Structure 1
């Protein structure tokens, strides 16, 4: 069913927010504010410190609308270190903003940081670039500090914040790209009882039902839990050529349990499972002028094409306070990712115009990824030679396995207006030739934040990293250094240098259909120089940051496709990205809150005969984002946002340009308190001006931005 715009507009006064309870947990492993209890701020969680039974829990009544500004990012330096003591650009997107925007995908959250740009969304997954470099599914994402396989749409409902760590971070996390990392911080168990139910719908008939519950299991509060359940059904605006709209079904279940074994030892167990099935949409096709061929809503895939994903994560984390100065943390996680992808695999012909026929090459494919990660960190604070040291010594490990089964069907021709061909009678289960790929790597790292005096700090570190893989063994030794100057207690200027390392999947190009089959390739390396400044203003309620960066990546692989469907992969020398960022986050006044950012980027290939001077796909020169909230009353607030992307190239030859655009979003939140129950109502309008725009992707897989859409939500907190 559909809801008319008029009905939803009239319903604005009854609209909702899925804002969770505002529970603020001051923990040593996660010093960000969680927003999980609308009426209370809980100080002193036991997560990495003493057991809660020895700590007084204080509940403070405060503003319902808070939580824009975050002072710490645990993922940046693997410890509870202030952003003002971090010689690196880091953005933390808190749950308050995630919930106000009714975000259901990672892309809807990351739009709040202008340094991130979206790539193609084909095959029900999201791709992002950070500072112009694409984030890899295998090493571009973390969850609570664990390397996380991210080849699917992440379960946003389990997160309390997202940390965007910019620049090479291989010293602490191993293989990672030059743009940086995205660390997803999950919700943790609480001592106070929470039980939140939420429902949101849109004008297409999509719905999402959520449950977020937590609290103490035992009377002494030493055993606590946090649980999330999500059932989502999505109907998209784009349609298959037989008139059916694309649909998606998703289920999520997650549980985290904390147990204080004694005053010094905490153990955390976690488990989550995601089932996500959706019709395929590999994106729209562009002509040489950067315009969509045919209707913006047309899907070239057949309606029977789909992807079906099942992801499970389970593991344990522990922290032990050795003494007043030293602490040890341990983490272990196993992730299994199984996916069936039944493709119609439409191929865009050169010079294609609407009405022409095109070839589809269907296949049924099964992918099995298995990620096992672990780490151990020793952290200590001590004084030596008259200066203070915050020392981290640790190691991490990854075991990777991938298996694939694939069966191809017969190709067929199709053109608009024809009857859709039936789904081929093929199944991956008949493939008796399993393709596999395996590797493991480990790293040992050390980092020391040296406080010379109140004004000067120095950060130095290094890492040894080794990958073991048949035909692709690699090892590296990486340094990192930074200097911080604090002219006052609420300001920091810093300079830093860091390096990154990414082994290739093999030592040669091993695709026998590639025109450069057999060519030797080297590992990719990167280095970054960064200058930055951070200021806490307006009684420390507003954080301003700025950074200038210069990143060079060597050994980049680029695949170029020819008109006859042949392709050639080349190692195009260097890729250099220079630019600057400016951001503001927090309270401007007692009623006005903002999260704003802007980036200027100069991204080019260098030292290559074919690509020198070219700009990578989806690397705009200018990008900006703004999300704001203004409190009209204690219970009523309005939101307004603007998201700008400058011109971007849609192909490697830089001949096809996607136009710049600005998307305007608005929303409103109203809170009703009924005895012991809080009811939160929210109404959001995305793309208020119904702007036509193209998001990420190239000439044969571009994402077409949705037109104006409405979201209505209600959340009840018991």
Structure 2
């Protein structure tokens, strides 16, 4: 079905206003309140009103309310994504229209914020620690996901101009809890979840939280290699443990460990012809059924919180992420001038093993002082990152295959192939001051120095990243802000044997942004309305293009020149709009362009980056019919996007409607919940993220059924 993007965007963004027929009676502001020196997260059982969160731990590296944050931030609580039966980070981030999805090949997910692609090495955080995210991030351990929009280099160092994704994990609890969950779908997929916590001693000074997940997923697309009607499958195990120790009345130690084992068959996505039409059927997987990727990820971390005085706090932490992956890939590709369905296509198998080791540490001092007639909320800190990457790879020869051909698994072993390594260390020092001049005016000023040292000569990078902001509060429940921020994102080398510039060192990308926005809390703080206008420019842009005609074995070329200029506006609503209606909604308009004068990339001047729609919007609502029955309605609109950098191939816009229903009941004092969801209610055919060579084909109508018991 077709719908005006402007009409849908306006309806989605303003839906909360039309629903507000009566004033909310509950204040759902979840700002952190330190009644004791040591913060303890209490779990209070079922709570259907938790759509709005009052603070973001990542936006200012501290417990500062969103209303006092001169930056666009969207916090997506786990309550909302549990309602949606989300199974991965992509299904969480559809709740923010400034985030659009990219390719999902190789069992990983790519995202763009405000049209800028998030780097898998520097675009993601877990509890403020940089997290290498070259795999599908587990979401069952998350308390909330924070979308920090715009440059955040002043606080986190290397990061992109679009923003960051900060994933906040569930914390230990002193209250005993034991939750069991199970969900399934029409394909026969299953997911079992256990979430437990409580105190380990009578004094409640030792607490824990653990999460266990076993997931077996069957997908609807099928392999075409003559091995039968085999669909792609995924087998995943997740274990998570958080322990908290009160070492003293003012000192707390938190230890965290998580383990993920995630193995799946490979589906690189679909191919598009020059008209933007899908090649073959929607169900076709062009990879061989023996291709797979197997990820093993471990995180081991420790954090200490010390309340030095009533006004000052020190936090320090360390995290070691170990991420190893084996990928046996058939690497299918179309051959120029040939129809893959009738003339065949090419595969070139390889077996590779990747080893990433990421060690991060930080120390922050935060406090409040009164000076020069103002209150100062001060942050002084430093962080370090130690990065190692090792690659082993064994490659086979290219061969032509036809759909239905039975191609045997190749005799490849990465241990017999080539080996390469790379390392770097990144240091950062930062200071930030949020100055409260009076009840109406606040000023934010921050500065950071970064240094990245790599192996070899001439590869070190240095940067100074400032950030400034001003907040004006015309009323107790509203604020208007402006900010200026810069980003610094070092680039590595071109690491692709089918790229003309394989092995070329890349310079850092630098960005700057101006933003003006406003935030308002209505209905006794139950509803948060936000809006922002932004203008972002990036230099030294890295662009990877597919060649019109391959040069030998090279199909792509990576270059760095010119600029990207992105500007637009966004609005959002989150919270309670009546006694029994709740909403989370957002809308974005984006004008994204390359601006370049280089001879190498002059053909990109004025072009729009891949997967940067002009309009996007979303809405998810909850209507509580009774105390025990609730209904959900959601819709997602994504406008037209280009599938290649030359802007010759277009993916159509689409609207996807979702529906859900839940029933709560109790059996022998055990709270239970049954949920039934329909994703893509009207079975709309659409193309999701990715280019013309790896586009994600949107799911058809999808049914999910879930059961939860809280003991």
State the TM-score, normalizing by the size of structure 1: 0.91
* 2:410 corresponding residue in structure 1: 424
Q: Any idea what SS the aligned residue of 1:68 has?
A: coil
1:539 Cα offset (Å): 1.4
Q: Any idea what SS the aligned residue of 1:96 has?
A: helix
Runs of 4 or more above 4 Å deviation: 30-33, 43-46, 57-61, 509-514, 516-521
1:59 Cα offset (Å): 9.2
Alpha-carbon distance in 2 for matches of 1:215, 1:704: 43
**1:155-170 correspondence runs (5 A):** 155-170=138-153
- Offset from partner CA, 1:494-535 (integer Å, 9 cap, x none): 0000000011214xx687864456877532100000000000
Gaps of 5+ in 2: 1-27
**1:283-302 correspondence runs (5 A):** 283-302=269-288
- Offset from partner CA, 1:675-714 (integer Å, 9 cap, x none): 4200110000000000000000011100000100100010
Change (3 A) 1:59 1:679: closer
Please provide the CA RMSD for this pair: 1.8
* 2:609 corresponding residue in structure 1: 616
* 1:374 corresponding residue in structure 2: 361
Change (3 A) 1:517 1:680: closer
Contact 2:51 2:574 in 1 (8 A): yes
* 1:237 corresponding residue in structure 2: 220
Alpha-carbon distance in 1 for matches of 2:692, 2:167: 31
State the TM-score, normalizing by the size of structure 2: 0.92
* 1:714 corresponding residue in structure 2: 707
* 1:257 corresponding residue in structure 2: 243
Alpha-carbon distance in 2 for matches of 1:323, 1:557: 47
* 2:589 corresponding residue in structure 1: 600
Contact 1:501 1:524 in 2 (8 A): yes
**1:532-681 correspondence runs (5 A):** 532-562=517-547, 563-564=549-550, 565-608=554-597, 609-681=602-674
Q: Any idea what SS the aligned residue of 1:153 has?
A: coil
Change (3 A) 1:715 1:627: same
Stretch deviating more after TM superposition (528-537 or 566-575)? 566-575
**1:25-424 correspondence runs (5 A):** 49-50=37-38, 64-241=47-224, 242=226, 243-353=229-339, 354-418=341-405, 420-424=406-410
1:66 Cα offset (Å): 1.2
Q: 1:442 aligns with which of 427, 434, 438?
A: 427
Contact 1:651 1:699 in 2 (8 A): yes
Change (3 A) 1:193 1:59: closer
Alpha-carbon distance in 2 for matches of 1:90, 1:350: 44
- Offset from partner CA, 1:409-440 (integer Å, 9 cap, x none): 2322111233x211011111223x42001001
Alpha-carbon distance in 1 for matches of 2:583, 2:30: 21
1:607 Cα offset (Å): 2.6
- Offset from partner CA, 1:457-490 (integer Å, 9 cap, x none): 0000000000000242001111100000001111
- Offset from partner CA, 1:324-355 (integer Å, 9 cap, x none): 11110001000000000000111122244221
Change (3 A) 1:516 1:302: closer
Matched, 1:451 2:439: no
Q: Any idea what SS the aligned residue of 1:434 has?
A: strand
Q: Any idea what SS the aligned residue of 2:617 has?
A: strand
Alpha-carbon distance in 2 for matches of 1:395, 1:350: 52
Alpha-carbon distance in 2 for matches of 1:349, 1:605: 29
1:636 Cα offset (Å): 0.7
Q: Any idea what SS the aligned residue of 2:535 has?
A: strand
Contact 1:307 1:340 in 2 (8 A): yes
* 1:462 corresponding residue in structure 2: 447
Matched length:
670
Q: Any idea what SS the aligned residue of 2:58 has?
A: helix
- Offset from partner CA, 1:139-174 (integer Å, 9 cap, x none): 000000000011111111000100000000000001
Alpha-carbon distance in 1 for matches of 2:171, 2:470: 33
* 1:11 corresponding residue in structure 2: none
Stretch deviating more after TM superposition (556-565 or 179-188)? 556-565
* 1:8 corresponding residue in structure 2: none
Change (3 A) 1:77 1:44: closer
1:613 Cα offset (Å): 0.3
Contact 1:685 1:708 in 2 (8 A): yes
- Offset from partner CA, 1:25-49 (integer Å, 9 cap, x none): x9xxx9668xxxxxxxxx8686xx3
